[in-house]
Structure 1
Amino acid sequence: MFKNSTSKKFEIRILTIILISTFLLYLNHFNNPFIFDDTHTIESNNSIRTLNNWTTFFTDADTFSSLPANRAYRPMITLMNAIDYNIAGELDPSYFHYHIFFWFLVLIVFVFVLCKHIYKISLKKDKYAGIVALFSIAWFAFHTGNAETINYICARSDSFSTLCIVASLLLYINPFSRKWHLYIITMIIGIWTKQTGVMFFPILVTYIILFEEHTFLTDFRTETRTKTISILKKVLPTGIIASFLFILNQYYLTPESTDSTNFSVTRFEYISTQWYVIKHYLSNFFLPINLSADPDIAIIKPWYNFKILSGLIIIIVLFYLMIKTSLKKELRPIAFGIAWFFIALLPTTLNPLFQIANDHRMFFPFIGLFIAVPYSVLILVKNQKVFEQKKLLYLIPVTLFILAGNAYGTVQRNKVWNSHESLWLDVTIKSPKNGRGQMNYGLTQMEKGNYDIALEYFEKANSLSPNYYILHTNLAILYSAKKDFQKAESYFDSAIKLNTNSPSPHYFFAQYLSDQKRYLEAKKQVEIALQKSPNHIQSKNLLDKISKNSIKTNEELHSLQTQVENSEDPTKLLNISLKYYQIQEYKLVISTCKKILKIDPKNAYAYNNICSAYNQLKKWELGAKACKKAIEIMPNYELAKNNLKWALNNLEKANKE
């Protein structure tokens, strides 16, 4: 039945079918939008708008993101984003998806070659090694969990750095490229893509110990020193370069403004919680039905919580299997796959990150499982003599079920990623304790004009994440849309205080002020935003708009001053005072209204406008005095009462301070 199953022609045909099938599965993802961190790395990042300065991507980490706290030294990602933007000529996510998917197909081929090589050297002349390698790669290509990485444009750092690691290992395995150390070049590219590229070094060490220095683990009595020196000679150049680049990236090229380590938790709390996270990832490998774009896993206390202990038990069992299988040559692909899984998880397990778990982080570690698990099945069926009993056909429906199930799941996940609304609705269902997810779904409703629904989700988010500056910014925008300007400005103020590094609160506050024609205040806010992030393209565009409007304002100001000088009509002068107020000329509001009072001493509206202007100038006592006069003339004047309350409240605060 499988006589010619391992021929090259057969493998190429099946591999081609797998690649075509993968393309068809992802056919509904190419128009999926920019999501989440794509905003600051692509949409608002001015650095990627041109390739003329592409060399600065490798010298200046500020070019990676428009948000100071999110800047990392990943020049290859910035370069690829710039290439995609400039090919498209605009912000078209399709071009980004085409590029990412091309390298995903290349990775599929590379992982197949790696699996087949490892299986072949462990099971010499086994005709089923090629078949199992094909199943491994089909499972990898169709796996629903990978859709979380392939759909998320910013996560190209995970997929491309993984490609570089696999390519580096294949280049090391090839005698010619090993001789010229070509594998070091792809390793460097991987590290420039994401710091996890450094993990190629321990993976290489593991490969050498398991598959090249065969007796190092099984015979400690003879020539241990010679074997150790042999291993060191093979890995030393890679180790030195990887360590140098990692130190250079972390301590010299990463900006001081970058905020990547979560100091709000202890390292032990974070690492112990990762034991449960590893269990979560493993469950998604075997049954990817609970995938979320933004999981709500939080720090788990105490360390002896059942969730943590159950994860620890699974880790111990896997370590035992890894050690046990490493001692027998035939079983070493299993040990290598498990080791790959744990090595790939080290960067996100040891360093406390703000996001405790993220499903796109599974992409790199899962390569190890796609090597180990299918091979384990091969060994089990061989030991059970399934082949001899001609019961191998029973495995075919199981195999097809696994592939079909994952294929269906991938298509469905692509649909979830199809819009912001569908993605964040899915997050609110899968991760209900995630405040950011609740906020982002509320944001989609606000954009549709469903303000009450948006407020409901914002309030849920606020109860879960009360000090989240982006949420406060969105609440400010929402209350502005609802015409509650007092609450809007209060939330803008709190958003700015909650995050002193981000340009976003200043930008949106400036936009709000500009819409109200308060151009001087708007200009001040947008200049602060650009001071914090010179590459924030939205702030640059807004500053240009404000500057143009300021010119118009100056022309309008001259015209109004002429009208004030030539008019004795209180109604006309009152309207002019309101226009002065709109363009923030509060002193002119006061002088114009004083002219009105000379003509009409009992004009309550003039006193109220004087009160409003003094309040804006924070001269609360003078504001209160003017409003009291307005109410004295017109006792039921509600606007004057509100302005008086505004003045008195702030006067009370000032006296307490």
Structure 2
Amino acid sequence: MAVHKRPNIMQNNNNNNNNNNRVHRRGTKIKPQTMCCSSNVIQSSFCLPDCSFTVYQFLVLLAALFCYVNSFNGGLVHDDIFAIKNNDDVRPSTPLSNIFHNDFWGKSMQDNMSHKSYRPLCTLTFRLNYMFGGLDPFGYHLTNVVLHMIVSCLFTHCINELLFHDSKASFIAGLLFATHPIHTEAVAGVVGRADILACLFFLLTIFLYVRSVSTDEIPGGFPTTTRPGLFLVAIFLGATSMLIKEHGVTCLLVVVAYDVIVLCNKGITRIVQTRSITMDCAPLLKRGATCFITLCSLFMFRIWMMKGELPPFSDQDNPASYATHCSTRFLTFSYLCVFNVWLLLCPLILSYDWQMASIPLVESVLDIRNLATLLFFVILVGLTVYAIFIAKGVSQRAVLMGLVVLAIPFLPASNLFFRVGFVIAERILYIPSMGYCILLVHGLWNMCNKVGKPLSSAITFSVLLLVAMFAWRTVVRNSVWHSRESLFRSGVETLPHNAKAHYNYANYLKDVHRTEEAIHHYKITLKLYPNYASASNNLGTLLITEKPDVAKALFTNAIVNNPQHARAHFNLANVLRDQKIYDKAEAEYRASLRINADFSDAHINLGTLLLDLGRPKEARKHYLKSVTLSPDNADTFNNYGSFLSRIDEWTEAVEQYRRCLSLQPTHTVAMVNLARALRKLGHTEEVEDLYIRVLNLNSDTEVMKSLGALYFNTERPLDAKSLYETAIGIDPDSKEINTQYAQVIAKLGNMSRAITILKDVLAKHPNYSDAHQQISSIYGITGNHQQALQHINAALKLEPNMEGLSKSKLLLECGNHYRDLDKKQEALMSYKEAADLNPNNSIAQMNLGAMYHMTRDYKSARVHYEAAYKLDPNNDILLQNIKKLERRELALKKKQKPNQGS
């Protein structure tokens, strides 16, 4: 595009105004012209090379690319996790229509917990990124940078065509916008794409709106809409911008302001001077009415989408809006406007989060910060007065439009109309920063005109130095957005008094298992903000194992500060269950589910608790609910299978484990559980295959023990020996592995080696009951019954509450040793206790019968022989004993008959 050469001498004010209104007769394109000031001085402008405007635009593109090229290797961090990684609407497998029913984070707009941020078109771009590159961050960051380059170039073009008409001034403004560090959150953070896209539509709306209006000389000063189709496209783009980011729709107010300030300036001036409105202002009124009706329609649509409810923000999101006194709210919100402008002027301190005391409330009129607020509004009023009553021509229009673009897009974030969910959000300043660039460049341009060429060179050098400093600051700031660690650590370093920054950093440290550091930052969080429920809850989860009582207090504190914290109720229930306070644990699980009926983990844990309490029918309902809620989650099927295993529904349990493995073939826990279930059903071939699959994925010694036991029980002791030796190589101090290894060694006939191994185990773990039991069995085999008795009695003392079946087995062995030592009475008592604990133990019944037989209590002997016969009718020894008893009873009867006859 040809650039109009600026004249050497300024014309007088009247001529200048005429030049400003001079246009091409061809239609709608505004003729390029130089910026003007009101004094007759030599125009110096910026001392830059005379290049075509295309070259300047290309340089702006390169500057934008240079500043953000190091963001390409960044990851998906912070809000990106929720908007992209955890958002099913981004996946092509989800119906496309979901995007238009859900909020930006994938939750239904009708949900009470929805954030109510409705940005379907932005989510659609994430979906396109996912289609081409999945969750690879590079494509998302590349798209953001390309969009920022386009917006920077379009901004440069728009202000040159519609406002400055000076390629050098437009170039400087474009450079400032492209390199400003305040944009790093919007460009380097992927979710900031909403602000970039909204800005793109914002600029397109303004540009097309102006193109739709005639720029021919109109007698009344109110140009008509000569291209209604283009006008409707502009209105459509303006309305569409709201589907990208809520404050994008403010472009409809900005275009009306541009219409009044620039396009209809002559007509508005005449009306003000004559104080009379004539019908020739109808075109402006029609365009304004169209924008107003569109805005009202969009506003009603937005209210309908939100069901007339605002998002559920809390005082930690926006403390000022929850302040008790109106004066505190007024003073703080006023100061926050100043702080936002300060970030534009001096972006030295930047943070991804400004919540929780990052900016303390202004609670008194004596607060020194009120001076900054007062100074800011004095300057704002001064600029407005200057633009309306003093400045003329392009100066007037540039200042007014700079203020409009700075202020109007910021209004939705100002808390003036409704509460917002943040204190400061740097990406919100992406669009308003264009107004800042317009004001700054116009002011510098005027300075250049007033000081002459020598000093204008210094001003030009200074502004280019500022651009270079902005670029450097942006490049450095981008590195902060590379990872969760760098981002959250930067928040702690920049704003150490920000509780939210410590909380987020602690969450990251917890996720990467840097537990001690995480605990430290959670404690700082609670010191800065004691009522932070989520911090109390998360700290409790880290202390629940070592300090359950402290964790319990933390979960309770979280519930006190936020009774609707479902996870705090859930975690408190877990502690109560471990402490065997079952009634309260059940109540907390149910409280968690009242808050979040779709909390799958709560359903599972409540089901487990109900099963422990002997209520399997109720438990089944909760397990089935968890499966319904998470049909794509392999863990839910594994958990349901575990429940079925506990109630001996092994066949159905096998089916659930298989469903789990179909969703996640490498789910090793499900493989082990399936192997145990199949072993219970007698399918040992597949059991071995499953254990081997697990061991191919990881060298789990627990699985080695299970497979070793399978080899041992299927008469493959050599395979078991080899496997246990491998396990011992991994965990040489494992008492369980060494005990089972000794059992295999004994099976292979090396009794002395087995005893040596078990003695070593007992030397290190004298209270290990299984080792006592195994060494007792080996001593029994070798005939050392006295030693065997010592170890069996030790095992019985170590586990007084041993399960009945296991204790019955030990007592049976104990009785055998007493019998072999010819201690009949002790043997009888041991057998009797074994039979009482397990009446279905046929050997205990038979041996007890034999002891009664030996002590000539034939009546008791018959009772226990008959009980044993019912359990094991094919036992040869039992049959022989019964026959001996029958002969003895018959002999007694014969002996009694002669005595009776005599």
TM-score scaled by length of structure 2: 0.56
Q: Distance in 1 between matches of 2:143 and 2:107?
A: 20
Q: 1:29 to 1:541 in 2, by over 3 A?
A: farther
**Residue 33 of structure 1: aligned partner:** 75
1:247 aligns with 2:300: yes
Q: 1:356 to 1:285 in 2, by over 3 A?
A: same
Q: 1:109 to 1:224 in 2, by over 3 A?
A: farther
Aligned counterpart in structure 2 of residue 81 of structure 1, from 126, 143, 146? 126
**Residue 17 of structure 1: aligned partner:** 59
The letter for the 2-side match of 1:148 is: E
The answer to whether the 8 A contact 1:30-1:94 is kept is yes
Deviation of residue 203 (structure 1)?
1.1
Aligned counterpart in structure 2 of residue 184 of structure 1, from 211, 224, 235? 235
**Residue 459 of structure 2: aligned partner:** 395
Q: Distance in 2 between matches of 1:591 and 1:547?
A: 33
Q: 1:496 to 1:548 in 2, by over 3 A?
A: farther
Q: Distance in 2 between matches of 1:177 and 1:102?
A: 31
The letter for the 1-side match of 2:174 is: I
1:232 aligns with 2:285: yes
Deviation of residue 436 (structure 1)?
0.8
1:118 aligns with 2:185: no
Q: Distance in 1 between matches of 2:563 and 2:632?
A: 20
Aligned counterpart in structure 2 of residue 302 of structure 1, from 353, 364, 369? 364
Q: 1:445 to 1:180 in 2, by over 3 A?
A: closer
1:479 aligns with 2:479: no
**Residue 760 of structure 2: aligned partner:** none
Deviation of residue 342 (structure 1)?
1.5
The letter for the 1-side match of 2:297 is: F
The answer to whether the 8 A contact 2:630-2:636 is kept is no
Q: Distance in 2 between matches of 1:533 and 1:598?
A: 41
Structure 1 residues 340-489: aligned runs within 5 Å:
340-349=405-414, 350=416, 351-384=418-451, 386-387=452-453, 390-480=454-544, 483-488=546-551
Structure 1 residues 129-140: aligned runs within 5 Å:
129-140=166-177
Deviation of residue 236 (structure 1)?
1.0
**Residue 42 of structure 1: aligned partner:** 84
**Residue 291 of structure 1: aligned partner:** 350
| 1:480-524 deviation digits (Å, cap 9, x = unpaired) | 4x64445445545655665566776689899999999xxx99998
Q: Distance in 2 between matches of 1:81 and 1:135?
A: 32
| 1:193-237 deviation digits (Å, cap 9, x = unpaired) | 122123123212221121012146644132642376543222111
TM-score scaled by length of structure 1: 0.75
The answer to whether the 8 A contact 1:270-1:352 is kept is no
Structure 1 residues 146-225: aligned runs within 5 Å:
146-175=183-212, 176=227, 179-215=230-266, 218-219=269-270, 220-222=272-274, 224-225=276-277
**Residue 579 of structure 1: aligned partner:** none
Deviation of residue 314 (structure 1)?
0.8
Deviation of residue 308 (structure 1)?
2.9
Q: 1:60 to 1:144 in 2, by over 3 A?
A: closer
Deviation of residue 254 (structure 1)?
5.4
Gaps of 5+ in 1: 122-128, 564-569, 576-589, 602-657
**Residue 402 of structure 2: aligned partner:** 337
The answer to whether the 8 A contact 2:552-2:575 is kept is no
The secondary structure found in structure 1 opposite 2:69 is coil
Q: Distance in 2 between matches of 1:512 and 1:29?
A: 44
The answer to whether the 8 A contact 1:417-1:423 is kept is yes
The answer to whether the 8 A contact 1:51-1:82 is kept is no
Q: 1:466 to 1:4 in 2, by over 3 A?
A: same
The answer to whether the 8 A contact 1:157-1:194 is kept is yes
Identity %: 19
Deviation of residue 250 (structure 1)?
2.9
Matched positions, count: 562
The letter for the 1-side match of 2:429 is: M
1:144 aligns with 2:196: no
Q: Choose 56-65 or 92-101, whichever is displaced more.
A: 56-65
Q: Distance in 2 between matches of 1:444 and 1:339?
A: 41
1:258 aligns with 2:311: yes
Deviation of residue 50 (structure 1)?
2.4
Structure 1 residues 606-645: aligned runs within 5 Å:
none
The answer to whether the 8 A contact 2:208-2:231 is kept is no
The letter for the 2-side match of 1:458 is: Y
Q: 1:394 to 1:51 in 2, by over 3 A?
A: farther
Gaps of 5+ in 2: 7-31, 33-48, 213-226, 580-584, 602-625, 651-675, 681-767, 774-799, 812-902
Deviation of residue 554 (structure 1)?
2.8
Q: 1:14 to 1:430 in 2, by over 3 A?
A: same
The letter for the 2-side match of 1:150 is: V
The secondary structure found in structure 1 opposite 2:74 is coil
Aligned counterpart in structure 2 of residue 102 of structure 1, from 111, 122, 146? 146
| 1:624-652 deviation digits (Å, cap 9, x = unpaired) | xxxxxxxxxxxxxxxxxxxxxxxxxxxxx
Q: Distance in 1 between matches of 2:241 and 2:307?
A: 17
The letter for the 1-side match of 2:641 is: I
Q: 1:119 to 1:252 in 2, by over 3 A?
A: closer
Q: Distance in 2 between matches of 1:313 and 1:594?
A: 84
The secondary structure found in structure 2 opposite 1:201 is helix
Q: Distance in 2 between matches of 1:58 and 1:506?
A: 33
**Residue 853 of structure 2: aligned partner:** none
Q: Choose 104-113 or 246-255, whichever is displaced more.
A: 246-255
The letter for the 1-side match of 2:152 is: I
**Residue 645 of structure 2: aligned partner:** 555
Q: Distance in 2 between matches of 1:533 and 1:174?
A: 56
| 1:443-491 deviation digits (Å, cap 9, x = unpaired) | 33333433222212111111222233332332133224x6444544554
Q: Distance in 2 between matches of 1:271 and 1:359?
A: 21
Q: Choose 183-192 or 591-600, whichever is displaced more.
A: 591-600
Q: Distance in 1 between matches of 2:632 and 2:364?
A: 49
Q: Distance in 1 between matches of 2:539 and 2:632?
A: 21
Q: 1:218 to 1:508 in 2, by over 3 A?
A: farther
| 1:329-366 deviation digits (Å, cap 9, x = unpaired) | 23121121012211122111113334222222221211
Q: Choose 111-120 or 176-185, whichever is displaced more.
A: 176-185
Q: 1:511 to 1:65 in 2, by over 3 A?
A: farther
The two structures, once aligned, show a CA RMSD in angstroms of 4.2
